A and B are shown apart, each in its own frame.
Chain A
Amino acid sequence: MIEILSIGSGLSLQDAGRSGWRRFGVPSGGAMDRRSMTLANTLLGNSTQAPVLEIARLGVQVRVLSDAWIALAGADFCSLFKAGTARLVLAGEVLVFDQRASGLYAYLAVPGGFRAEHWLGSASTDLRNGMGCALRRGDRLESLRATPNITTEGVARRVAIEPTDQICENRAHFELYRGTQYEAFSAATREKFVRSEWTISKRSDRTGYRLEGNSLAVPASIPSEPVLPGSVQVPGNGQPIITMRDGPTVGGYAKIAFLKADDLDRMAQCAPGCLLSFSWLD
């Protein structure tokens, strides 16, 4: 069992998200960086669906109340506990996430995952839509199992072989597919989009990453069209928004591009202030 001592700039329970509900208007949600969430679970022999604690940026502190196996992955925010490793943490130890490091999200897994309520088949917190609740100081979270599903040697072996995430520092490049309204943007605008450097805005969250930089000439809005995480939409102000895990399922802004599915996790770890550049896939 762990107790939350400080919620820092944000933490929530997340898992692999809810699939099959987008046509009812329900975003898939789930861990922003799925690869890291999966790694944290894998290190302890958990199912990859097991609920983990998603820690956004710095300031989070948790106290371990009884001896517990814990795995960390994603951003390397905990100075005494390297991301991409797992170990037995003794009762009373406090994990402090205050180490400046690249990335935006760290993941904390416990054996079997955290006990959590499920909505539409997922424990992912989606506050906007009433699923789950905001964690507060003093909340206690319980793990489903007392010990990992696998032996101590098994955990050690996985820590040694599992590759950790490639987390961008303050600059990242992404190759993009052309969006469904690509042709609606002028050739000059499309060129400007890939020739410009963009900064991830502070006004970014789990629903979308806003980009600041040049302003793009925007074509007319379109009849509402399905949107997926990784869609790059350009709203009226000409500043693109990359839809993320909690983003809406449909939208009327023109989509200039799509991220590769495999790049979503890497994008999720790009923190506000990170510089982005793009190029088109052939």
Chain B
Amino acid sequence: MKCRIYGDRGVLLSSLSEAERSRLLHRVESGLPPACDEYVLGYDSILLIGAQTIAVQEWLEQTNGTEVRAIKPSGCRIIEVDYTGADLDSVAQACNLTVTEVIELHSAPVYTVRMMGFSPGFPYLDGLDPRLHLDRRSSPRDHILPGTVAIGGAHAGIYSVASPGGWHLLGHTELNLFNLDAARDLDPDPAQVFALSVGQRIRFQPMSTP
């Protein structure tokens, strides 16, 4: 783990091992360091906005004592996907698979939401089958619809708002990842605003054709 200042804006803990990352995820839930009012997760990093190095080091020492709780036995959310994405054929070709195999490999694993970013509620999903790991498209698309199920690098994801993007498009889900109506509440509840949360497990299920 590296601990470094992020300009005068906070402290970044980076190069986290999986164990360090999950310990920190629990730690931030039970309280942030003094002066820190917000945190942001990266792939193997966490930014503690407003925090000072010394306070973070003390906070980390407290963290070392905490046991990592067992993963909450939360269920696995099933997300129905209409596998009609524009890149199914090109992905199959690039991975040396058939389209059916791509769909099978994509819908087999249980994924875990690693972090959210890029757009509001956009989940970076761990657990993509290595046979589907592909570099991003060389030319990103200008306009991808919300609900588009896609893969990029070692991750699966779902576009949460209309945006440009460079991932490979496999299908579409009706799930609304960023609920603007709930965002209008006076005191918005993240569980209502965002369909998914960090640490949540999900699985994709091909929509049964009528």
Binding site for B on A (CB under 8 A): 19-26, 117-121, 128-131, 177, 180, 223-226, 228, 230, 248-250, 258-261
Q: Which residues of B contact A121 (CB under 8 A)?
A: 187-188
- The reply to whether B38 and A225 contact each other, CB–CB distance below 8 Å, is no
Q: Which residues of B contact A226 (CB under 8 A)?
A: 6, 12, 40-42, 45-47
Cβ-Cβ contact count across A and B, 8 Å cutoff? 114
A129 to B118, CA, bound (A): 11
A119 to B120, CA, bound (A): 12
Q: Which residues of A contact B47 (CB under 8 A)?
A: 225-226, 228
* Chain A proximity of B152: nearest CB distance (Å): 11
Q: Which residues of A contact B6 (CB under 8 A)?
A: 180, 226, 228, 258
A249 to B121, CA, bound (A): 11
- The reply to whether B8 and A129 contact each other, CB–CB distance below 8 Å, is no
Residue of B nearest to A117 (CB): B184
Is B169 part of the contact surface with A, judged by Cβ < 8 Å? no
* Chain B proximity of A282: nearest CB distance (Å): 13
- The reply to whether B37 and A19 contact each other, CB–CB distance below 8 Å, is yes
Interface residues of B in 2-60 (CB under 8 A from A): 4-10, 12, 14, 37-47, 49
Is B160 part of the contact surface with A, judged by Cβ < 8 Å? yes
Q: Which residues of A contact B49 (CB under 8 A)?
A: 22, 228
- The reply to whether B118 and A250 contact each other, CB–CB distance below 8 Å, is yes
A224 to B122, CA, bound (A): 13
Q: Which residues of B contact A19 (CB under 8 A)?
A: 37-38
Residue of A nearest to B39 (CB): A23
Residue of A nearest to B8 (CB): A261
Is B116 part of the contact surface with A, judged by Cβ < 8 Å? yes
- The reply to whether B193 and A23 contact each other, CB–CB distance below 8 Å, is no
A111 to B193, CA, bound (A): 31
Is B170 part of the contact surface with A, judged by Cβ < 8 Å? no
Residue among B7, B38, B45, B183 with most chain A CB within 10 A: B7
- The reply to whether B117 and A128 contact each other, CB–CB distance below 8 Å, is no
Q: A23-B116, A177-B8 are in contact. Are A130 and B40 (CB under 8 A)?
A: no
Is B124 part of the contact surface with A, judged by Cβ < 8 Å? yes
- State which of A118, A180, A223 has its C-beta within 8 Å of the C-beta of B184: A118
- The reply to whether B40 and A223 contact each other, CB–CB distance below 8 Å, is no
Q: Which residues of B contact A22 (CB under 8 A)?
A: 38, 40, 49
Is B163 part of the contact surface with A, judged by Cβ < 8 Å? yes
* Chain A proximity of B139: nearest CB distance (Å): 13
- The reply to whether A261 and B40 contact each other, CB–CB distance below 8 Å, is no
Q: A129-B178, A180-B12, A250-B40 are in contact. Are A24 and B7 (CB under 8 A)?
A: no
Q: A129-B119, A260-B7 are in contact. Are A224 and B124 (CB under 8 A)?
A: yes
Is B180 part of the contact surface with A, judged by Cβ < 8 Å? yes
A24 to B120, CA, bound (A): 6
Q: Which residues of B contact A224 (CB under 8 A)?
A: 42-43, 115, 117, 124
Is B161 part of the contact surface with A, judged by Cβ < 8 Å? yes
- The reply to whether B12 and A25 contact each other, CB–CB distance below 8 Å, is no
